[in-house]
């Protein structure tokens, strides 16, 4: 039975879509206990479908969407890497009936996929469903005051037990940022939430994105520090799921 991980932060631009793709790709490179690979599906509540661009699959013009799947029950996922699939979204506003059907439909996908990762957007009604569906939540964040306050609210909203990891991303060294990191570390102490080292705002990550590549598509030594962080998050998730 598959598990669902939702990547959430109510703040825009923190790297939710980027992280969903990197983490999803990481899982496909790991081995399950039986020696086979994880089959991973990426979904989104963002009709911009940034993951298609980030993975270099943005030349695909005609595709079926999550809405089609919910309507017909037929999944036409796009293969973006070996064992890594993506289903785009067309709209961003949904009826109550659609939302009910969506939840049932996504649950069914657990039969076919080991892991379903959901890329969210700041505030949208179906994100509520994706949070409810999630076995675990992963939060990418900035290390600033407003975003940290947002995390505290999110922890209240979804419950501490559901959050597995917080990943400071697009980090730029500053005294205030470092103080914020230490504060966050203290707050999370004893909660079971894994706080990673910060991922830098990086020119290499930017260039890879421009080329439609993930951090796992390159042999460059410069990405190793990012690979280690994402790999650790993947292992933490596998252990608790
Ligand atoms: N560590 C990083 N270094 C450099 N660029 C990054 C890094 N993380 C993300 N980016 C870039 O920052 C931008 C925002 O990332 P992304 O789109 O993943 O954020 P998001 O949280 O999904 O945003 P939105 O709320 O708009 O959906 C993108 O252009 C992405 O390429
Ligand atoms: Mg996004």
The yes-or-no verdict on residue 126 having pLDDT over 90 is no
Which of the listed residues 6, 7, 17, 48 should we mutate to test ligand 1's pocket, taking the one with most ligand atoms within 8 A of CB?
A: 17
CA dihedral 49, 6, 87, 226 (to 10 degrees): 70
Instruction: Check residue 19 and give its pLDDT.
Output: 98
Residue-level pLDDT at 92 = 81
Angle at 218 between CA 212 and CA 223, to 5 degrees: 100
Report residue 148's pLDDT band, with 50, 70 and 90 as the boundaries.
Answer: confident
- Checking if the pLDDT of 221 tops 90, the result is yes
Q: What is the predicted pLDDT for the residue at 55?
A: 98
Ligand nearest to the CA of 167: 1
What's the pLDDT score for residue 61? 81
Tell me the CA end-to-end span of the chain in Å, nearest whole number.
11
CATH number where 56 lies: 3.40.50.300
| Domain of residue 116, residue span | 3-240
Would you state the pLDDT for residue 63? 87
Q: How confident is the model at residue 124 (pLDDT cuts 50, 70, 90)?
A: confident
Output the average pLDDT for the chain.
95
**Residue with CA at minimum distance from ligand 1 atom 23:** 13
Beta strand spans in 49-207 (E): 78-81, 84-86, 115-119, 136-141, 163-168, 194-195
Q: Which of 10, 11, 18 to mutate for ligand 1's pocket (most ligand atoms within 8 Å of CB)?
A: 18
Q: How many domains does one find in the chain?
A: 1
- Per residue in 166-216, pLDDT (tens digit) is 999 999 999 999 999 999 999 999 999 999 999 999 999 999 999 999 999
Q: Read off the pLDDT of each residue in 90-101 and give the average, rounded to a whole number.
A: 89
Distance CA 153, CA 156 (A): 5
């Amino acid at each position: 039975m598959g598990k669902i991980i939702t990547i959430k932060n109510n703040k825009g631009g923190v790297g939710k879509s980027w992280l969903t793709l990197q983490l999803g790709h990481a899982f496909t490179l790991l081995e399950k206990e039986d020696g086979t690979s994880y089959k991973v599906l990426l979904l989104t509540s963002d009709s911009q479908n940034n993951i298609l661009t980030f993975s270099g699959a943005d030349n695909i013009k005609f595709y079926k969407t999550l809405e089609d799947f919910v309507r017909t029950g037929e999944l036409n996922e796009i293969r973006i890497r070996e064992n890594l699939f993506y289903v785009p979204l067309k709209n961003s506003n949904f009826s109550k009936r659609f939302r009910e059907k969506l939840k049932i439909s996504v649950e069914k996908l657990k039969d076919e996929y080991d892991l379903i990762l959901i890329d969210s957007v700041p505030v949208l009604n179906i994100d509520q469903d994706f949070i409810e569906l999630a076995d675990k939540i992963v939060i990418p964040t900035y290390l600033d005051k407003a975003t940290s306050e947002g995390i505290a609210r999110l922890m209240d909203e979804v419950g501490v037990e559901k959050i597995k990891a917080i990943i400071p991303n697009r980090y730029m060294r500053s005294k205030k940022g470092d103080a914020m990191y230490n504060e966050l570390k203290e707050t999370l102490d004893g909660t079971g939430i894994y706080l990673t080292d910060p991922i830098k705002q990086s020119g290499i990550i930017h260039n890879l994105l421009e080329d439609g590549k993930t951090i796992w598509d390159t042999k460059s030594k410069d990405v190793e520090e990012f690979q280690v962080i994402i790999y650790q998050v993947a292992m933490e998730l596998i252990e608790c799921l």
